[in-house]
Structure 1
Amino acid sequence: MTFPEWTKPSVYGAFVGAVSVSILGFTWGGWTTSGVAQKMADNFAAEQVTSAMVPVCLGLSEADAERVEILATLREASSFQRRNAMMETGWATLPGADAPSRDLADACLAELALDGS
């Protein structure tokens, strides 16, 4: 079976066009693979949960009888040690979780604004 002479350039053109569209789509077009999309969705969900739990963290801090002493300890701690100190207070532990959340500790510290107080 013989193919017409014009089929070879047409096939090459279609192949180069498909590769070009794929490269442009994934680099500039915003296309993603399912794995990348899943990671983006997981990160977004984690950020939203953290944002939603900040009022709980602040509520726990306000209800704590030792609030004044703990806030003084947090103010005295260096900026590198504040997250660990916040995690030790128990205010940054999500309800039902066994361990405190590092992201929630950071968000709660930002809302407490210890440097500006």
Structure 2
Amino acid sequence: MKIPVETKPLLWGIAGGAIALAIVGFGWGGWTTGGAADAAARIRVNDAVVMALAPVCVDKFQRADGAVVRLTELKQASTWSRGDLVEKGGWAAVPGNQPPERVTAVAQACAALLAG
């Protein structure tokens, strides 16, 4: 099959336009792939869960025996070790099957709320 001469520039223009559209769309237009959107959604969900569980952790900490003494210890500890203190105390753990990374993130957010 022979393509008419006047059709070739049209086809090249369509191909070039499609390539330019893809480059502009993904580069500057804010388009994302499904995988990138899923990864961003997972991060946002995890952050939302941590922010929802941190006040529960604070409440558990404040209701525990010796909370005043432990709060003083927490405030005197270095910023880096505060989350570990809360996690070791068990206040960041919630019922259910939570991944260890989430428990650590809840403990750090809880410690920041308590110390701040």
Is the alpha carbon distance of 1:64 and 1:97 closer, same or farther for their aligned partners in structure 2, counting shifts above 3 Å? farther
Q: Which runs of 5+ in 1 are unaligned?
A: none
Counterpart position of 2:39: 39
Aligned partner of residue 32 in structure 1, secondary structure: coil
Counterpart position of 2:88: 88
Q: Percent identity over the alignment?
A: 37
* Cα deviation code 1:11-63 (max 9, x no counterpart): 11111110110111112211111111111111111111111112211110111
Counterpart position of 2:74: 74
Question: Equivalent residues in 2 for 1:60-71 (5 A)?
Answer: 60-71=60-71
Partner Cα distance (1:70, 1:51) in 2: 22
Runs of 4+ in structure 1 deviating by more than 2 angstroms, as ranges, are 94-100
Counterpart position of 2:108: 106
Counterpart position of 1:58: 58
Counterpart position of 1:2: 2
The answer on whether the counterparts of 2:86 and 2:92 sit within 8 Å (CA) in structure 1 is yes
Partner Cα distance (1:93, 1:5) in 2: 72
Is the alpha carbon distance of 1:4 and 1:110 closer, same or farther for their aligned partners in structure 2, counting shifts above 3 Å? same
Is the alpha carbon distance of 1:66 and 1:96 closer, same or farther for their aligned partners in structure 2, counting shifts above 3 Å? farther
The answer on whether the counterparts of 1:70 and 1:89 sit within 8 Å (CA) in structure 2 is no
Root-mean-square deviation (CA), in Å? 1.8
TM-score by length of 2: 0.86
Determine which structure has greater relative contact order: mean sequence separation of CA pairs < 8 Å that are 6+ residues apart, divided by chain length. 2
* Cα deviation code 1:55-85 (max 9, x no counterpart): 2111101110021222122122111211212
Partner Cα distance (1:70, 1:6) in 2: 82
Relative to its length, the structure with more helix (as a share) is 2
Pairs aligned (count): 114
